[in-house]
Amino acid sequence: MKRLLALTGFLLLARPASAESYEEHDYLLNCAGCHRMDGSGSRAVPSLRGMRELSEMPGARAYWVRVPGAAQAPLTDARLAALMNWLVERFAGQKPSPAYTAEEVNRLRSTPLRDPIARRNEMRRAASHQRWRLHRE
């Protein structure tokens, strides 16, 4: 029995190390073409470094999954959730808390944004209004 428990413990510990991680692979094939390898974007595509500014705003978590590039990526919900966790940590500077799950990603990507730029401007306006109210109080 002891031996069986030890073996189970060993297998549980060994599992994360042997699990394939696809985050960088998925980023290169699904995001880097337009956002570039370092996420800096170009004249035509926004920089992913802007995620840091958005991370403080309410609604950013849902916004990042609902933008067309993420919502329509040919990835399973689980792979997209893992990619989003990797992406947010890399470009917004901190891990999403709680981490995205496949269920949450499935729910969010089912309503992709029709006008991501308008939504981003709306979030910025709301954040600036909130700051103004706090300043007055």
Partner 1 sequence: MSRLDRWFEGVARQSARRVSRRSWLSRFGGVLVGGAALPLLPVARAAEKHRVGEDGVKGREGDPTRCEYWRHCAIDGFLCSCCGGSHTACPPGTEMSPVTWIGTCRNPADGKDYIISYNDCCGKTFCGRCICNRNEGERPLYHWYRNNDINWCGGARAQTYSCSTAVLVKAAKEAQPEK
Interface residues toward partner 1, by CB under 8 A: 20, 22, 25-26, 28-30, 32-34, 36-37, 42-45, 69, 74-76, 79
Give the shortest CB-80-to-partner 1 separation in angstroms. Answer: 10
Q: How far is the CB of 14 from partner 1 (least distance, A)?
A: 20
Beta-carbon count within 10 A of 15 CB: 9
The alpha carbon of residue 128 and the mean position of all alpha carbons in its chain are separated, in whole angstroms, by 23
Whether residue 85 contacts residue 28, with contact meaning beta carbons closer than 8 Å, is answered with no
The residue among 73 and 123 lying less far from partner 1, judged by its C-beta, is 73
Considering the complex, what minimum distance in angstroms separates the CB of residue 36 from partner 1? Answer: 6
Residue type present at position 135: H
Contacts of 15 (CB under 8 A, 6+ apart): none
25 vs 52 by CB, closer to partner 1: 25
CB of 4 to partner 1, least distance (A): 33
| Alpha-carbon gap, residue 4 to 97, rounded angstroms | 35
Q: What are the strands, taking DSSP E only, across the chain? A: none
Nearer to partner 1, 33 or 58 (CB): 33
For residue 121 the two structure tokens come to 């401007």
The residue (of 7 and 29) whose beta carbon lies closer to partner 1 is: 29
